[in-house]
A and B are shown apart, each in its own frame.
Chain A
Amino acid sequence: EVQLLESGGGLVQPGGSLRLSCAASGFSFSSYAMNWVRQAPGKGLDWVSAISGGGSSTYYADSVKGRFTISRDNSKNTLYLQMNSLRAEDTAVYYCVRSTSGNYIDAFHIWGQGTMVTVS
């Protein structure tokens, strides 16, 4: 079964840091681009960041550029999001999402259950 399991969310003070992890299983992890998509409480969906299958290319929304870093360890089938200089507006559920292909400019096929990040 294809599965994504996020962890690492929690409560952090403004200016603080947090590292999210996403453990993938059931598919060839290195063959797919991976993303982080977030949803603030009661709001819509916002794409945050993406990384190519091999990990050499990364992409960020302007709102997080310079503060967040996406990475992956294909030997561990794990995706990460290092979040620094956190702001109240970063409060959201963060979803780990697999693209439908190795190209990150694609649909969001498989979603994890999400992990809540609260900056307060």
Chain B
Amino acid sequence: DIQMTQSPSSLSATVGDRVTITCRASQSISSYLNWYQQKPGKAPKFLIYAASTLQSGVPSRFSGSGSGTDFTLTITSLQPEDFATYYCQQSYSPPLTFGGGTKVEIK
């Protein structure tokens, strides 16, 4: 199975900050990397697919990059509604696996 490792597991930030979350795969997954946002008590929301393509309706302050084994999710100018937990997920080979999540909290 492909292991997905996210870092950090949590971070504290202020509105307006630039935030970067890292996701590393245990083997190359090309660009088959997706990102999700989850708020407490809610279902995850699909943000980015194929490492860098924003899902329709996702604000442009979100961006993704990377290929192979190393990927990043960047939020420029963090907004109050962005405080949530973010998960990466590989869609390269089964079983489809998620990273452990990164909780973005208010400083």
List chain A positions with a Cβ less than 8 A from chain B.
Answer: 44-47, 50, 59, 61-62, 95, 100, 104-114
Cα A16 to Cα B99 with chains together (Å): 30
- Shortest Cβ-Cβ A-B pairs, 7 listed: A111-B43, A107-B34, A45-B98, A107-B49, A47-B96, A44-B101, A44-B100
Cα A95 to Cα B89 with chains together (Å): 16
A-B contact pairs, 7 of them (CB 8 A): A44-B98, A44-B100, A45-B36, A47-B95, A105-B96, A107-B34, A107-B89
Cα A46 to Cα B1 with chains together (Å): 13
Number of residues on chain B facing chain A (CB within 8 A): 23
Contacts of A109 in B (CB 8 A): 46, 55
Task: Knowing A46-B98, A47-B98 are in contact, say whether A106-B43 is a contact too (CB < 8 A).
Answer: no
Q: Are A108 and B46 in contact (CB under 8 A)?
A: yes
Cα A107 to Cα B45 with chains together (Å): 11
List chain B positions with a Cβ less than 8 A from chain A.
Answer: 34, 36, 38, 42-46, 49, 55, 87, 89, 91-101
Contacts of A110 in B (CB 8 A): 46
Cα A10 to Cα B100 with chains together (Å): 26
Q: Are A108 and B34 in contact (CB under 8 A)?
A: yes
Q: Are A114 and B43 in contact (CB under 8 A)?
A: yes
Contacts of B99 in A (CB 8 A): 44
Query: Which residue of chain B is the closest to A111 with respect to CB atoms?
Result: B43
Cα A114 to Cα B39 with chains together (Å): 13
Contacts of B38 in A (CB 8 A): 45
Cα A7 to Cα B98 with chains together (Å): 24
Cα A62 to Cα B95 with chains together (Å): 9
CB distance from B44 to the nearest CB of A (A): 6
Contacts of A108 in B (CB 8 A): 34, 36, 44, 46, 89
CB distance from A26 to the nearest CB of B (A): 15
